[in-house]
Every structure is written in structure tokens, then in C-alpha cells.
Amino acid sequence: MSYPEPRYLDEHGAASGVFRSADLPPDLTMGPKTDDPAERPTEVHYLGTGASTGGAFGLYRWEMGPRKSGPSPHFHRTITESFYVLDGTIRLYNGERWVDGRPGDFLYVPEGGIHAFCNQSGEPASMLILFTPGAPREAYFEELADIATTGRQLTPEEWTDVYLRHDQYMV
């Protein structure tokens, strides 16, 4: 293993870091907003998008409310996905078995690796999700949020179209 070819060729470094405050509100809410803490929807923070990182990665803070949420088992052809549990208990699926991920637990899934996650704990939970390279996952998240918020019902053919457009292959 060696370092990749240089991507920055200037002789001097640049002041180019981007700071994002933890106090910013979520970029996306997955599902109807409610004042009932037991029905709090998932909130997503776009920490570093593929666009903002020059395609290097996408990093998102995923804050799940206490109700059950998360995708069914699936895989991606073009991106890796990694999960790092921050708070609570998040069920993680590595393609063979489900485990209860707790703060500090990590799951890496290469391209083609079957995986899933969900919050079944009845309590809020949060994690970081990292995609490499930085694909435009925000469009997928926003489409899912719109479906959840509006209550729109999709046919199996429409779901297949959504998944194919976003490198999501359900198993």
C-alpha cells in the first residue's frame, strides 16, 4: 500500500479548510415533523457531501428518533459505506448477521457488500455514515424524505426506478 498520486501540486499549502458548526440545524428531516418526542423523525446533517469534498467522500450524521427506521438489506456497485455509532443502539447488518452496534462500534462495507441498519431500540440513536467516493447521496436521501413526508405510495416498479437511479440494489 502506498500513497496515491498527488492531487495538490502547488509549492505552498492553502487556507482551504471548511468548518461546520455542530449547532447548525439538520439539512434534512426524514418523515413528518412532530412535537411528540416518541415520534421524532430521523434528522440528517450533511457534514461533507461529494460536491463539497471534490468527490473524495460523503459524510453524514444520522440522528434517528425512537421509532423503528432504517433500510432493508441492500448493496451498492459504485460506493463503499461505513457506519460509526455515536449514541444509542443501532442494529447493523454485515450481510451475514445483525449485531447491536453501540457507541464506538464501526462497520465497513465495500462495494457489493450486503448491509443494512435500523433503530429498533425505542430510544433515539445516532451515527456517522461515510460513503467513498463521494456520490450524490443527498438526492437519494431527499427523495426518500419527500416520499415519507408526503405519504406517497410507490409501486414496485417506481421503487425499482428510485433504487436504480441511486446505486441501491435491494436483496
Structural domain includes residue 11: no
Structural domain includes residue 93: yes
- Any idea what the CATH number is for the domain that residue 151 is in? 2.60.120.10
Q: For residue 107, which of 78, 130, 132 has the smallest C-alpha distance?
A: 130
Give the type of residue at 97.
R
Dihedral of alpha carbons 130, 120, 75, 167, sign: negative
- Percent of the chain, pLDDT > 90? 88
Structural domain includes residue 12: no
Query: What is the number of domains present in the chain?
Result: 1
Structural domain includes residue 14: no
How wide is the angle at C-alpha 110 spanned by C-alphas 1 and 126, nearest 5°? 115
Structural domain includes residue 13: no
Q: What is the domain range of residue 138?
A: 28-170
What is the separation of C-alpha 74 from the centre of its chain, rounded to a whole number of angstroms? 13
State if pTM tops 0.75. Answer: yes
Structural domain includes residue 15: no
Structural domain includes residue 119: yes
Question: How confident is the model over 4-21, as pLDDT tens digits?
Answer: 999 999 999 999 999 999
* Contact residues for 150 (Cβ-Cβ < 8 A; gap 6+): none
pLDDT band at residue 85 using 50, 70 and 90 as cut-offs: very high
